[in-house]
């Protein structure tokens, strides 16, 4: 534990609940900002994490859970762990948590979150980050960790490692969190984008888990093509992908739990709002802006959009 260091985790769902829970269980000063029945359960009985690496329980005495950032006050780090569509509202409410040197770590899927946060709080506060883990809310006050690397990566805007980056990495390592230290945080962010967007989108369209999508010849071919589109899009935007990025990512897909499903896939299947706009929708939008064809990702976006609109009350049929 780094004494005197305060951490606020905004969002106690799969990502925030898992990483924040590990930090709190290790004795760090962690406060959660949550809402609804999940918050009620955390206040009453803390946070239960069911993990393939061993279950653990963060009791109410070990952390603070609230829906009001004003009850927490300025902290050293804010870990933003909400879904992409909540970001505008959350970023506008960050003020009470910000002290002179507060760093804000983004963990959102997609490639837009760091810029969205920087526009409001300033680029010098933002640590672009990438979470790689299969987690979900299993019920109020309960997080299920099903596998994946269970890793977190982040760095300064220019990909450098500052004292504040090193200090947070040390706390996470002490909490048993796997860390990645990419030389280029933007290439790492786009590499995750290349992994999660085609896999999650095709899984939602096919209504099939990772093991099926990667093993069927047709869906694997679509997966490969969708990854290639994002590679071409990233290269056009001067992202430093290695030449073999698609092959490397396919090999990574082959290592994942066969029953794994993306958060987008679970949300769409359950009729909940999803991150479709920040995933396939972003590829479609950026492709049009850059002049890079994205037929697979565009097909996924338009195919899933009616379900997304229904979940948001924008489509009655």
Q: Domain ranges for the chain, please list them.
A: 6-183, 186-311
Fold classification of 6-183 (topology level): Rossmann fold (3.40.50)
pLDDT at 38: 97
Judge contact between 144 and 138, C-beta under 8 A: yes
Whole-Å CA distances, 100 to 121, 174, 181, 248: 11, 26, 26, 41
What burial letters (b/e) apply to 198-214, b meaning 16+ CB within 10 Å?
A: bbbbbbbbeebbbebbb
pLDDT at 14: 93
**In a structure prediction context, what are the per-residue pLDDT tens digits for the chain, which is 317 residues long?**
445 899 999 999 999 999 999 999 999 999 999 999 999 999 999 999 999 999 999 999 999 999 999 999 999 999 999 999 899 999 999 999 999 999 999 999 899 999 999 999 999 999 999 998 888 899 999 999 988 788 999 999 999 999 999 999 999 999 999 999 999 999 999 999 999 999 999 999 999 999 999 999 999 999 999 999 999 999 999 999 999 999 999 999 999 889 988 889 999 999 999 999 999 999 999 999 999 999 999 999 999 999 999 999 988 76
pLDDT at 1: 40
CATH code for the part of the protein at 186-311: 1.10.1040.10
- Determine the Cα–Cα distance for residues 238 and 119; give it in Å rounded to an integer: 21
- pTM of this structure: 0.89
Do domains 6-183 and 186-311 share one topology? The answer is no
């Amino acid at each position: 534990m780094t004494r005197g260091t305060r951490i606020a985790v905004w969002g106690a769902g799969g990502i925030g609940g898992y990483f924040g829970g590990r930090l709190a269980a290790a004795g760090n000063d962690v406060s959660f900002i949550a809402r609804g029945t999940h918050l009620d359960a955390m206040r009453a009985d803390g946070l239960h994490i069911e993990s393939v690496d061993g279950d653990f329980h963060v009791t109410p005495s070990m952390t603070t859970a609230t829906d009001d950032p004003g009850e927490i006050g300025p902290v050293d780090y804010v870990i933003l762990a909400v879904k992409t569509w909540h970001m505008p509202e959350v970023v506008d409410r960050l003020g009470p948590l910000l002290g002179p040197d507060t760093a804000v770590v983004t963990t959102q899927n997609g490639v837009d979150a760091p810029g969205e946060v920087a526009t409001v709080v300033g680029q010098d506060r933002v640590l672009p980050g990438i979470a790689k883990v299969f987690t979900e809310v299993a019920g109020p006050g309960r997080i299920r960790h099903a596998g994946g690397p269970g890793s977190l990566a982040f760095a300064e805007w220019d990909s450098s490692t500052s004292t504040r980056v090193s200090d947070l990495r040390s706390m996470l390592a002490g909490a048993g969190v796997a860390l990645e230290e990419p030389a280029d945080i933007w290439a790492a962010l786009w590499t995750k984008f290349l992994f999660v967007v085609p896999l999650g989108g095709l899984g939602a369209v096919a209504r099939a888990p990772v093991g099926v999508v990667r093993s069927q010849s047709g869906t694997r071919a679509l997966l490969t093509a969708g990854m290639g589109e994002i590679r071409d899009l990233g290269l056009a935007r001067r992202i430093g992908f290695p030449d073999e990025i698609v092959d490397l990512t396919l090999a990574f897909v082959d290592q994942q739990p066969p029953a794994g499903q993306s958060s987008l896939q679970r949300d769409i299947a359950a009729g909940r709002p999803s991150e479709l706009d920040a995933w396939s929708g972003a590829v479609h939008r950026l492709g049009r802006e850059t002049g890079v064809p994205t037929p697979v990702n565009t097909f996924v976006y338009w195919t899933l959009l009616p379900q997304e609109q229904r979940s948001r009350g924008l489509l009655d049929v």
